[in-house]
Chains A and B, each alone.
Chain A
Amino acid sequence: MESLDTKPARKPAEYRSDVTQIWCPGCGDYHVLMSFTRAFAALGLPPEEIVVVSGIGCSSRIPAYTNCYGFHGVHGRSLALAAGLKVTRPELTVVVASGDGDGYSIGGNHFLHACRRNIDMTYVVMDNRVYGMTKGQPSPTTEPDFDTALSPGGTGLRPFHPLVIALASGANFVARAFSGAPNETADILVEAIRHPGFSFVEILSPCVTFRPDEKEWKNLVHPAPVAPTSDPAKAARRIMTDDGFNIGILYRGDREPYQPAIGPARIDVSELEKDFEL
């Protein structure tokens, strides 16, 4: 991998499009966009060699706000779409953007299998513990007593641990970031993109409209007290027992990324007919 020094200096603004950003004032996703463009600039990647893929939801609006290639697909399927793209165009840098509803609920099965498949891409989930675009329903990471019109009195269900699920499923890099710290988040994204295989970055990104309590997150987050481990069991135990606000790279694995051989044909298409000739 090339070092940062050999890449031409680029500015974050090169990665931002002129499309009007439609998020609520104060939304954490503005800062995530900022972290994206800072990370891309730091990596010195030409914008046309990056593809940002997303599903549906507030967070999934991010591709059009970048000046990269983008795909804003159907709800929950961004990882599958990105897999088909990356295995056929391995030279591209593929970043997938999602939210806790898109990524963990409707897209939950694809999350497991993307971790397991370990294709070289970076998966960013902006977790605000609520469906924002549909105005405030509980997601798989919402607390059990969060009272909504759809779940009066709360769901009574325990939120699950996406980072532990990622570890159990085979993700090769696991980190937690906070949108309110865009420089630190950009640093984590740089590491995630550089790390071979499937990198998973959960970004705590407050929904100020439907979860005003999350404005407090800025006072709760703190750097992870220990260096990242390469032992998934150790990483999982730490994540299961921490307060949920440890920020930083939590796990770095060394699994070989999945990339089948592609390239020019080894035979002429007419040779395939031989299977059928009598």
Chain B
Amino acid sequence: MDQRHSIGVAIVGSGGAGALTAGNLLLEAASAAGWQGLLTRTVGPQIRGGEAAALLRLAIHPVACMPDAYDLLIGIDWLNAHRFGAEITVGPQSLVISDPRGGDLPPPMASAGARVVEVPIKDTAKGIPDGRPNMVALGIAGRLLGLDPDDLAALIAARLKDKSEAAIAASCAGIEAGYAAAADIAFDRPKPPKPASTKRWLISGNEAAALGAIRGGVRFAAAYPITPATDILEWLAPNLAKMGGVLLQAEDELAAVNMIIGASFGGTPALTATSGPGLSLMIEALGLATAAEIPIVVIDVMRGGPSTGIPTKSEQADLNLAVYGLHGDAPHLVLAPQSVGDCLFTTQWATYLAETLQTPAIVLSDQFIGQARAAIERPADLAFIGQRLEARDIAGAYQRYAVAAGGISPMALPGTRGGQYTADGLTHTPRGTPTSSAADHHVQLDKRRDKLEGFAYGDHWATIEGSGELAVITWGSLVGPVREAIARAAQDGIDVRLVAPRLLSLVQPARFAAALAGAKRALVVEQSHGAQFHRYLRAHYDLPGAVKVLSRPGPLPIGPDKIHRAIVEWRQ
């Protein structure tokens, strides 16, 4: 999608000023008016007293990434905005709405040559009983985007239905005042779309992942809160209950992962969600689930690392941990969603694969797609519902870990007569009895490898588009900006192919080679300081002779412009 056919809006304020609320309402109103869009937020570590920005991009087409520069930047105040000045780019075409009493516009924004229009946002709000500046900012944005003020007022009434009438009236008055204040401000924007004819969803990646898990059959979750994964667990708590399932709050991540192993041992498909520090704690038990062949799903919504890192901001640097973190030879599944909507598909597919292959699956989402809220077309229904091979009506001696064709052996659930066995992290015989024999060890290592290697994963293993001799190889949330950069390159007459594995483990060498057939150059795009994805590709796949790497750590996003430039500059 071309930058000219979309519109980027940033609303900035100090923590507690309500910038995120205004951004959420703006996206919801715009979606109702027919726009598709994406909303992300960038916040400091503090709940209050920090800084917050709502970043939106709206278009009449699906939106998969943020713009390189924002067309409209509204500052409720600029008190702490310098902390993310580098994350919000404005240019000479941009319009900046600034409150003269809101502090100074931070240097990178002030020197960008943008047109700055002063609006007394705070004073306008003060003129309204209980008026809030963020509602004035919302009104300004609504006016400049051409949204119907009555639609915004109706949305406010619906969203604040638990509040007093006075609060609703104050919010509506604030919006009205914002519309009035922006009446004479010229702003060039694409024509508003026609109202959507198809069903639209407004959903975050974390919500989509949670829904995907339930659709895939998950009925038990264990929860230990951690930013930025907590929203998954909070959405699951009431909704699992409606589905007859249960969420248990754990005392730590060690407990969380063992709780889901216990539930799954009993036959209930189970999930937990965490971020890097939590995944580190869960690694030992992931090895147990691998050895004992217990299906579980662990979602890691990646954030900046190592250690506590930047909890509120995105990075793709848990790849090594997820793929290689387990001790011993422990083949397991690692999958990565590629967009907000794809969080639903990938998590549902991960659940299906885990159940089918009786093995743990790690879903590597990240803060960007996890906490981005998207207005999208309703995702298609999927056939992937967990089907575990169970042992029923057991006659004769049951062998839980019998070496069967394909490596998948029927699992007896507690309560099944004659199926009694002890699931064990110790090396075991086909029956499950602990052993330290080299032969037994080898047989079970082969079994667990074979069941994963022999499975037909189908075309979902990767996104492969185009056939250019230059391939951009990327993964996860970077698929969106890469796809946009490739579309721009096509307008320049450069044909570029996209290869983005969704299934990171088990690797698929034959299919990867086929995806790269005819490619002479590869540009690897990823968001990690140590180029983890590039090293992963080097370890498992043959790459073309000429390879460049566009890799940088979070939290600065890698936008389509940067990728497009890398493509253009590498013309032969």
Residues of A at the B interface (CB closer than 8 Å) are: 19, 46-49, 51-53, 61, 63-64, 67-74, 76-89, 91-92, 109-110, 112-113, 260-267, 269, 271-273, 275-278
Contacts and interface: CB of A to CB of B under 8 A. Distances in A.
A72 B400 CA distance: 14
B110 to A, nearest CB: 37
Q: Which of B203, B292, B419, B420 has the most CB of A within 10 A?
A: B420
B200 A278 contact: yes
Contact of B288 (A69, A73, A110): A73
Nearest to A54: B422
Contacts of A52: 422
Given A48-B414, A71-B262, 15 more contacts: A48-B418, A69-B419, A72-B426, A72-B434, A77-B254, A77-B255, A81-B258, A84-B260, A85-B263, A88-B266, A261-B241, A265-B242, A265-B243, A273-B378, A278-B199
Nearest to B235: A275
Contacts of A91: 415
13 contacts: A72-B422, A73-B258, A73-B285, A81-B261, A84-B220, A84-B261, A85-B265, A92-B415, A109-B251, A267-B243, A273-B201, A276-B201, A277-B199
A155 to B, nearest CB: 25
A80 B250 contact: yes
Given A92-B415, A275-B207, A73 B243 contact: no
Contacts of A273: 201, 211, 378
Report which residue of A49, A74, A86, A262 has the largest number of chain B beta carbons within 10 angstroms of its beta carbon.
Answer: A74
A278 B202 contact: yes
Contacts of A271: 242
| Residue of A266, A276, A277 with most partner-chain B CB within 10 A | A276
B348 to A, nearest CB: 11
B437 to A, nearest CB: 13
Interface residues of B, number: 65
Given A73-B261, A84-B259, A48 B417 contact: yes
Contact of A278 (B201, B243, B423, B432): B201
B425 interface: yes
A19 B262 contact: no
B421 interface: yes
Interface in B180-226: 196, 199-203, 207, 211, 214-215, 219-220, 222
B414 A272 contact: no
A154 B202 CA distance: 63
A87 B419 CA distance: 21
A51 B268 contact: no
A194 B199 CA distance: 54
B98 to A, nearest CB: 32
Contact of B422 (A64, A88, A275, A277): A64
B284 A74 contact: yes
B267 interface: yes
Contact of B254 (A71, A80, A83): A80
B358 to A, nearest CB: 15
B248 A83 contact: yes
Contacts of A83: 248, 255, 259, 262
A71 B423 contact: yes
A85 B417 contact: no
Nearest to A65: B422
Given A48-B414, A88-B268, A277 B248 contact: no
Closest 3 CB pairs of A and B: A70-B422, A84-B262, A84-B259
A72 B424 contact: yes
Contacts of A88: 219-220, 246, 262-263, 266-268, 270
B386 to A, nearest CB: 13
Contacts of B415: 48-49, 89, 91-92
Interface of B: prevailing SS: mixed
B262 A85 contact: yes
A276 B206 CA distance: 12
Contacts of A71: 262, 265, 292, 422-424
Contacts of B250: 80
Contacts of B220: 84, 87-88
B32 interface: yes
Contacts of A61: 434
Contact of B214 (A72, A81, A89, A272): A272
A26 to B, nearest CB: 22
Contact of A80 (B255, B265, B268, B416): B255
B246 A262 contact: yes
Given A92-B266, A273-B211, A266 B259 contact: no
A256 to B, nearest CB: 17
A82 B254 CA distance: 13
A99 B427 CA distance: 21
Given A89-B267, A273-B211, A275-B207, A74 B288 contact: yes
A25 to B, nearest CB: 19
A79 B201 CA distance: 41
A72 to B, nearest CB: 4
B245 interface: yes
A266 B248 contact: no
A263 B211 CA distance: 19
B542 interface: no
Q: Which of B239, B266, B284 has the largest count of A CB atoms less than 10 A from its CB?
A: B266
B214 A80 contact: no
Contacts of B419: 48, 69
A84 B243 CA distance: 17
Contacts of B499: none
Interface in B386-439: 412, 414-426, 432-434
B414 A51 contact: yes
B252 interface: yes
Contacts of A72: 422-426, 434
B244 interface: yes
Contacts of B196: 278
Nearest to A50: B414
B28 to A, nearest CB: 8
Contacts of A19: 433-434
B375 interface: yes
B349 to A, nearest CB: 16
B31 interface: yes
A88 B285 CA distance: 19
A276 B212 CA distance: 13
Nearest to B374: A276
